[in-house]
Amino acid sequence: MSDQPPRKKSKWDDDEEEIAQERERRRAQKLAARLMSEKEQLERSHERGATDSPRGSGRSSVESTPRRAAWDDDGSARLRKVPRRGREAHPLLESCRSVYCYERLNEIEEGSYGIVFRARCKSTGDIVALKKLKMDKEKNGFPITSLREIQTLMTVPHENIVRVREVVVGDTLTQVFIVMDFIEHDLKTLLANMPTPFLASEIKTLVMQLLSAMAACHDNWVIHRDLKTSNLLMNNRGQIKVADFGLARTYGDPLGDMTQLVVTLWYRAPELLFGATEYTTAVDMWSIGCIFGELILREPLLPGRGEIDQVNKIFKLLGRPTDELWPGFRKLPNAKSFNIDAAQPYSTLSRTFRYLTQSGLDLLSRLLTYDPAKRITAEEALKHAYFEESPLPKDPGLFNSFPSVASGEKKTTLASPSAPQAGGGYDFV
């Protein structure tokens, strides 16, 4: 036998992640080609309708061409000439495969992965949210964040997850929109503008709905990876809708390597901050703990200015981790970057939430557990005694209504950190 060491893996060799991305890229290109084909068929149908006008009408097809607003890349409208729609194109129009089936009303927000507008369906009058995907940097098809968002939202239907109605296109494949149900509020804006805080019974209802949505995702092997109050929408019937699945990811058994550059900093689990590339749905549960605390305090629980400050804020709230609390954490890639032994040894959780019941503190501490293997799951949390003690969760239909910023009733600009850009290298298909 040879005593030579095994050949070192070349940096050019494909790993499982790259192979998976390549497969997803090819699926995206097929989807893009199909969308373009359908769009070309629609345009040819429109052109036939424009040229099939009766003879002797005294007007040419050019003269009868109407003008309408087109959706530019920046979301603004401009006038352009378009062929008159023929009668044979009516079924395609009714299915709203073109963005021109919608009238833009106002811009709601611009995020890392797209611009969201409030719009009205011209055929039904329904008010919807129209998310224009950011395609300006795309050269190889759809961005992977958009594919994941569409796939996840269609894979996990749930009453507390925002619903995708369809995907529509504009003049080119750089104009792709996701049509979703319009929801009036997001929790971050509500917390900032509410004259009084949520009641304990209302907080229980909101947290239960969030846990129910995440239980459905986790049962379907989906990790959201960007839970925060600005991604939790609420309608005027007290119903929560989890949104923005751009960083969502399916995971397998056994776990594969994934990027740790996910989850907005203030809601990021310690295993991610310590550089773990193998992680589970427990990262979502940590985020839920941060959201739970924010609903009570009406301000972010752990608003770090950077990763080191974020870890220090966690240490200050929970005390420093130990090998007994979190076995193996010192072996994680970033462990030596933090001054662990100098951190305070005790937790200040009960002092921070002095008006929370013992049962509530127990749930919060189990959500904010250092060891992801010991962190409570969504299914377990739904059965926690906190939701069974007085006051009981409030009926969502009894929630107060609030002015809707998204509807243009009031405009408030809030400072908030952004999600990691495109998942740290997982931006393209």
Whole-angstrom Cα distance, residue 133 to residue 141? 12
Distances (CA, A) of 259 to 60, 178, 219: 58, 25, 21
Beta bridge partners of 223: 249
CB-CB contact of 368 with 292 (8 Å): no
One-letter-per-residue 3-state SS of 357-369: CHHHHHHHHHHCC
Residue 351: exposed, middle, or buried by beta-carbon count in 10 A (0-12, 13-18, 19+)?
exposed
Q: Which residue has the tokens 């594969």?
A: 256
DSSP 78: E
Using N-to-C axis directions, what is the helix angle for 358-367 and 282-297, rounded to 10°? Answer: 140
Integer Rg of the chain from CA: 25
Q: Which residue has the tokens 């495109």?
A: 422
b/e 265-279 (16+ beta carbons within 10 angstroms → b): bbbbbbbbbbebeeb
The number of C-alpha atoms within 13 Å of 290 and in the hemisphere containing its C-beta is 28
What's the sign of the alpha-carbon dihedral 342, 343, 346, 351? positive
Distances (CA, A) of 222 to 114, 259, 277: 21, 15, 16
Cis ω on the peptide bond leading into residue 372 (within 30° of 0)?
A: no
Q: Which residue has the tokens 């979703």?
A: 180
Determine whether 226 is an active site residue.
Answer: yes
SS3 89: helix
CB-CB contact of 407 with 118 (8 Å): yes
CB-CB contact of 218 with 169 (8 Å): no
SS3 167: strand
Annotated active-site residue in 186, 226, 244, 284? 226
Whole-angstrom Cα distance, residue 12 to residue 317? 44
| Positions marked catalytic | 226
